[in-house]
Amino acid sequence: MAIFSPPTHTPLSFLTLSLFLTLTLTFAEIRFSEIRSDSRSIIPFDEFGFTHSGILDLNVTILSLRLQNDQITPATNPNDLSLVGFFLCTRDSWYHVLEQLSQNDIVCALQSDLIKPVFSFDRLNNGGLTHFNLSLQISDPNLYTLVFANCIPNLHISMDLVSSMYNLEGRSSIIRDYLSAGKSNLPSIYFHFALIYFTLNLIWLYVLYSRRTVIYRIHFFMLAVLMLKALNLLCEAEDKSYIKRTGSAHGWDVLFYIFSFLKGITLFTLIVLIGTGWSFLKPYLQDKEKQVLMIVIPLQVVANIAQVVIDETGPYGDAYAWKQLFLLVDVVCCCAVLFPIVWSIKNLREAARTDGKAAVNLMKLTLFRHYYVVVICYIYFTRVVVYGLETITNYRYQWTSVVAGECGTLAFYVFTGFNFRPKSCNPYFAIDDEEEEAASEMLKMEEDEFEL
């Protein structure tokens, strides 16, 4: 083993870990990581919420340490492998570790008393071993991130790592739960929501059958969206169930990604079609409305690809860049679907002044206005409020953000189905002269207020 230079720190690496500690939302199943000739000072792997019976298993093979001698500085610290190894830390403790480093109280994160050491490479008999296994009992329950630190400049590490974090449950404490504490009950949550959506599918089928003389093509599209949502939740429940018991999805993640992809595309397409009034107000789409669909659909493809990469790679790799791409694409899609609704509101307002059916158009105008507000509320709640709830909630109760998000989505589906359901009465024949006159006056007052 060559002589090592004293440890230095890369601010970017520590900043990267801080970002990962904030953004990492993986489920921490058994994960395999392959590292080749990596000299980074900090490598975050995974995040997991441990209970009082938590255990961390590490299996490292094909371990290789290589120092680039031509880059060594004059001041040296020979063979100090205690500055290389694995540790666990919480989000709060990491910021205090950064403070210790900035004040030169310590020269390496592994020297901090705020982290939980797992394994340092000085136990490798001066680097002679090429593999090791360890199992660590977690006595202090918390939300930890598994991190690898390499505080020796120019030391290149290669290894294959299999990390396994789980909690023991059951009376005999021999049953492994590979889902993080606070997410252990996600399989049952997703399954119950899947049952709710399957029930809604049956109700919608009954509505379509009982009013089959007044249904439009958009109503069958709504049925497809409902079915895909139910299948997506069912596959997600099975996916998390297998991860919970075995640490692997056993192929259910593939089905989940497929139905998630189809559900995302069909839902945004449905919002655009309803916003344009397709089937309800007109049997065709205008060019600008088609252009919105041509923007939304490819963006949803990109968003789903980004989601797969984020879920499968965890914090190690390119997950951060993909997460930023996912957030950007999602925001663009959410903004794009609002334009057709605004266009429909404008067209209905203009039609109310020209076709002599002010009352009917007022009813439609009011409905589209309400739908516009509801779509904005749905987007804000599921993208902002749910994320905020997930951020501030204790790790033991992270399931609450999932329930909140699914409840908000369910409310949006119910509102959409109820307000745009097949109706047997024709509003054109249900309006008398007095209602027509009152509606005309109301539209006139709204135009005056708009001009002011």
Owner of token pair 């360890």: 134
Whose CA is closest to 304, among 319, 326, 320? 326
| Domain boundaries of the chain, sorted by first residue | 11-177, 186-451
Tens of pLDDT along the chain (452 residues) come to: 333 333 344 444 444 444 344 333 444 478 888 888 888 888 888 889 999 989 999 999 999 888 876 554 443 354 678 889 999 999 889 889 888 888 888 888 898 999 999 999 888 876 567 888 999 999 899 999 999 999 888 888 999 999 999 999 866 678 899 999 989 999 999 999 999 999 999 999 999 999 888 888 889 999 999 999 999 999 999 999 999 998 887 778 888 889 988 998 898 888 888 887 776 666 667 777 778 878 888 888 887 777 777 776 655 455 667 777 777 888 888 888 888 878 877 777 776 666 555 555 666 767 777 888 888 888 888 888 888 898 899 999 999 999 999 999 999 999 999 988 887 654 433 444 454 455 555 555 555 544 43
Residue type at 87 in one-letter notation? F
Q: Measure the CA–CA gap between 351 and 328, rounded to whole angstroms.
A: 36
Q: Which fold has domain 186-451?
A: Rhopdopsin 7-helix transmembrane proteins (1.20.1070)
Given a contact cutoff of 8 angstroms between Cβ atoms, the answer to whether 5 and 80 are in contact is: no
What's phi and psi for 113, nearest 5 deg? Answer: -85, 5
- Length reported for the chain: 452
Given a contact cutoff of 8 angstroms between Cβ atoms, the answer to whether 44 and 315 are in contact is: yes
Rg of the chain on CA atoms, in Å: 28
Owner of token pair 């709204």: 446
Counting Cα atoms < 13 Å in the Cβ hemisphere of 171 gives: 0
Q: Measure the CA–CA gap between 281 and 157, rounded to whole angstroms.
A: 64
